[in-house]
Structure 1
Amino acid sequence: MTDRKPLQLRLPHDLKNWLKAEAEKNGASQNSEIVRAIRERMDRNRTEALQTQ
């Protein structure tokens, strides 16, 4: 990923705690967990869009 741009993100405490726990459980950074979650959502949206065509 060569075109990274910083993003300030404010999360509710419950999401921040969940994110921290997921990152620790997976041996990953919190940033990586956010990217993973967004990619999963993107994939799900693409799959749903293909199914409705």
Structure 2
Amino acid sequence: MAITDPQFKIRLPSDAKAFIEAEAKANASSQTSEVVRAIRERMKAETRRTQRLEPKGNKFSL
């Protein structure tokens, strides 16, 4: 990530913030990296889910 990447502020529940802090420490990474990692994992999961549900012929693939 570069300084020129878009930025935004986010409010988190205290338990989510504590989780991000702990994950960053455990992975020797920044909290930003942990948030990005979680978002990208969700993006991959959504992509896989939608690809499974795309129609193949007259049936849906599950």
Which residue identity lines up with residue 30 of structure 2 in the other structure?
A: S
Give the structure, 1 or 2, with the largest relative contact order (CA under 8 Å, sep 6 or more). 1
User: Which sections of structure 1, spanning at least 5 residues, go unmatched?
Assistant: none
Which residue number corresponds to residue 19 of structure 2? 18
What is the total number of aligned residue pairs between the two structures? 53
TM-score (norm 2): 0.80
5+ long unaligned stretches in structure 2: 55-62
Displacement of 1:30: 0.2
Match runs of 1:1-53 below 5 Å: 1=1, 4-53=5-54
Q: Percent identity?
A: 42
TM-score normalised per structure 1: 0.92
Give 1 or 2: higher helix fraction.
1
Is the strand fraction higher in 1 or 2?
2
Letter in 2 for 1:45: E
